[in-house]
C-alpha cells in the first residue's frame, strides 16, 4: 500500500484489507471463481482501536473465516472492520 493509512478506529475494532483480490500483484485480472479460491483469512492489521490488546498495526492475524465483517470504504478503497474477538491468533 503506497499511501499511509491514517484512519483510527474506536473501541476494539481492527481494520484489515479486504482479502479477496480481483488483480494479482503482477497485474493479472482474475475471474470471480479464481479470486474466490485465492481468498484467505490471514490478513495484515492496518489500524487498531484503543481497546485492542492482542495485536498491533503490522501484525499478520488469522480472522475467524465464519465471521461477518463490516465492509467500509476509505479513499475509494474497500477495507474490513473486524472486532478483536473475531481474531483467532497472530503470526
Question: How far is 58 from 78, CA to CA, in rounded Å?
Answer: 18
Cβ burial, residue 18 (10 Å; 0-12/13-18/19+): middle
Tens of pLDDT, residue by residue, the chain (91 residues): 446 778 899 999 999 988 766 666 677 777 777 666 666 678 999 999 999 999 999 999 999 888 788 888 888 888 999 999 999 999 9
Q: What are the residues whose beta carbons fall under 8 Å from the beta carbon of 64, sequence distance 6 or more?
A: 41, 86, 87, 88
| CA proximity to 61, closest of 3, 9, 19, 2 | 19
Q: What domains appear along the chain, each with residue ranges and CATH number?
A: 13-90 (2.30.33.40)
pLDDT for position 31: 73
The 3-state DSSP class for residue 64 equals coil
Amino acid at each position: 500500500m503506497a499511501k499511509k493509512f491514517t484512519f483510527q478506529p474506536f473501541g476494539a475494532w481492527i481494520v484489515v484489507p479486504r482479502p479477496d483480490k480481483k488483480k494479482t500483484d503482477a497485474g493479472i485480472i482474475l475471474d470471480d471463481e479464481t479470486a474466490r479460491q485465492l481468498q484467505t483469512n490471514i490478513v495484515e492489521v492496518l489500524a487498531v482501536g484503543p481497546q485492542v490488546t492482542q495485536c498491533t498495526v503490522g501484525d499478520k492475524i488469522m480472522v475467524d473465516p465464519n465471521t461477518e465483517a463490516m465492509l467500509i470504504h476509505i479513499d475509494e478503497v474497500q477495507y474490513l472492520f473486524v472486532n478483536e474477538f473475531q481474531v483467532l491468533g497472530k503470526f
